[in-house]
Amino acid sequence: MISIIAAIGKNGELGRKNNLLWNLPEDMRHFRDTTRGHTVIMGQKTFESIGHPLPNRRNIVVTRNRAFKADGVDISNSLEDTLNSLKNADEEVFVIGGGEIYRQSIEKADKLYITHVNKSFPDADTFFPKIDDNIWQKIKNKKYLNDNLNEYDLEFTEYLKK
């Protein structure tokens, strides 16, 4: 099963200049707990923004740069080939960004794990694709109110392809 996991602002905002727009420990915990023990697929820019392989996961970095090398990750030069090879895997595989990787993979995904951040970010330069209600059915939703560590209200929402 191919799943996508992302946190997005009210208008689908993902980031700016290859950085997140927020620091939300509760969302990071949710991401860690959901993806731990699974394969994660990310673009080279996302990998470089993280700075290291994510622990307790198989990390696949998709890049057009055939000379790219990094310790602790598998390298792929084709997102489509990678997704096709993992589509029927026994495990859930997570696409974790960035924006272009999400855009290219959303049609192949079976499930979305979206953290909706209750805030608009007008300076964003990277956006998540539109979640089409005709394609995606909301199956789970949990609200998290802001606190002294998380400055925005969050909604952890799961969608299944219809």
Domains and CATH numbers, the chain: 2-129 (3.40.430.10)
Q: What is the mean pLDDT of residues 80-100?
A: 94
Instruction: Give per-residue pLDDT as tens, 20-56.
Output: 999 999 999 999 999 999 999 999 999 999 999 999 9
pTM of the prediction? Answer: 0.96
Report the candidate in 144, 133, 113, 117 with the shortest Cα–Cα distance to residue 38.
113
Q: How far apart are CA 39 and CA 35, in angstroms?
A: 8
